[in-house]
């Protein structure tokens, strides 16, 4: 992805102009730049080791803060302080934790002088930066990693289609102006819809912007739905961006089942993977 130094938007590799603001992308467009304007904290950051073992490094100015999911921090300077709290009170924390699939507690890191901090997801995958300008993004549970303090993280009820899809009844909802960093399993695929529809396996859907809606459908007839291994899919449509992941955690779990040992307890034989 090419990052715009003017607004922070991500653009497909090889782009000459930013799809977000129209600015010309320079020769260094593939590097992750610092952001000093357009609202939020304006972090100076770099995402390294993409796309499978990504790590986010942020250079913090004195007084700058960032809010992160519990357990996401990898390293930090000795002059960075930590405050752990239930954002939005007990009610908001319970909604995020019980309904949204995230931790009840969120950590706010503040630098007391120039410092740095790094974050990484708990699984092999990529990190995506979203420069929010007052719009709303909806995230699957587990996708949120960290953001500017100005961004509000809440939940949104999906209705019964969330239960049917197997992805949960609630999405995480991100609102505000600032920088949002999300993670995914595998590498990220971005698709912008302009009034058309697009189908994606529910386990590969990571996030989408406001203006996008989706319905859960069978992949074909009942025979195909049951026997094809594809099950149900999401038919997304509207105007906005959709982020998808190249790997699915549920598919990995199903692949591992035949290799799991049948014994239980301390005497269990564990994995049984035959290479011959």
Count of CB atoms situated within 10 Å of the CB of 8: 26
Q: Average pLDDT in the 231-250 region? A: 87
pLDDT in tens, 117-139: 999 998 899 999 999 998 999 99
pLDDT score, position 184: 93
Q: Which of the two residues, 137 and 4, has the higher pLDDT score?
A: 137
Q: Which of the two residues, 234 and 28, has the higher pLDDT score?
A: 234
pLDDT in tens, 91-120: 444 444 444 445 567 899 999 999 999 999
Q: Which of the two residues, 101 and 186, has the higher pLDDT score?
A: 186
Task: Inform me whether the pLDDT recorded for 241 exceeds 50.
Answer: yes
Provide the whole-model pTM. Answer: 0.71
Task: Inform me whether the pLDDT recorded for 245 exceeds 90.
Answer: yes
Q: Average pLDDT in the 245-272 region? A: 68
Instruction: Single out the residue of 122, 120, 116 nearest to residue 55, CA to CA.
Output: 120
Task: Inform me whether the pLDDT recorded for 3 exceeds 70.
Answer: no
* Contact criterion met (CB below 8 Å) for 104 and 75: no
* Contact criterion met (CB below 8 Å) for 35 and 22: no
pLDDT in tens, 65-76: 999 998 999 999
Residue 219 structure tokens: 């992949």
Q: Average pLDDT in the 31-48 region? A: 63
Annotation: CATH topology of 32-254: Double-stranded beta-helix (3.60.160)
pLDDT in tens, 140-177: 888 999 999 999 888 765 554 444 444 544 678 999 99
């Amino acid at each position: 992805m090419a990052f715009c130094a003017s607004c922070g938007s991500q653009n497909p590799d090889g782009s000459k102009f930013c799809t977000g603001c129209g600015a010309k992308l320079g020769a260094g467009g593939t590097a992750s730049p610092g952001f000093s304007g357009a609202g939020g904290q304006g972090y100076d950051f770099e995402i390294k080791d993409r796309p499978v073992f990504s790590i986010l490094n942020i250079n913090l100015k004195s007084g700058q803060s960032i809010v992160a999911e519990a357990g996401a921090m990898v390293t930090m300077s000795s002059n960075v302080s930590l405050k752990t709290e239930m954002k939005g009170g007990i009610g908001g924390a319970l909604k995020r934790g019980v309904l949204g699939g995230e931790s009840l507690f969120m950590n706010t890191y503040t630098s007391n002088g120039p410092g740095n901090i790094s974050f990484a997801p708990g699984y092999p995958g990529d990190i995506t930066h979203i420069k929010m300008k007052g719009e709303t993004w909806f995230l699957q549970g587990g996708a949120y990693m960290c953001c500017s303090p100005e961004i509000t993280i809440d939940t949104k009820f999906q209705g019964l289609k969330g239960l049917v899809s197997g992805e949960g009844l609630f999405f995480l909802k991100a609102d505000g102006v600032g920088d949002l960093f999300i993670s995914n399993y595998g590498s990220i695929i971005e698709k912008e819809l302009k009034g058309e529809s697009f189908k994606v396996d529910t386990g590969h859907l990571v996030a989408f912007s406001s203006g996008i809606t989706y319905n859960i459908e069978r992949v074909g007839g009942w025979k195909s739905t049951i026997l094809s291994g594809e099950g149900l899919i999401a038919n997304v449509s509207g105007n906005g961006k959709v982020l998808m992941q190249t790997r699915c955690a549920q598919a990995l779990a199903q692949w591992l089942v035949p290799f799991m040992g049948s014994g239980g307890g301390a005497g269990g034989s564990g994995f049984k993977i035959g290479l011959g």
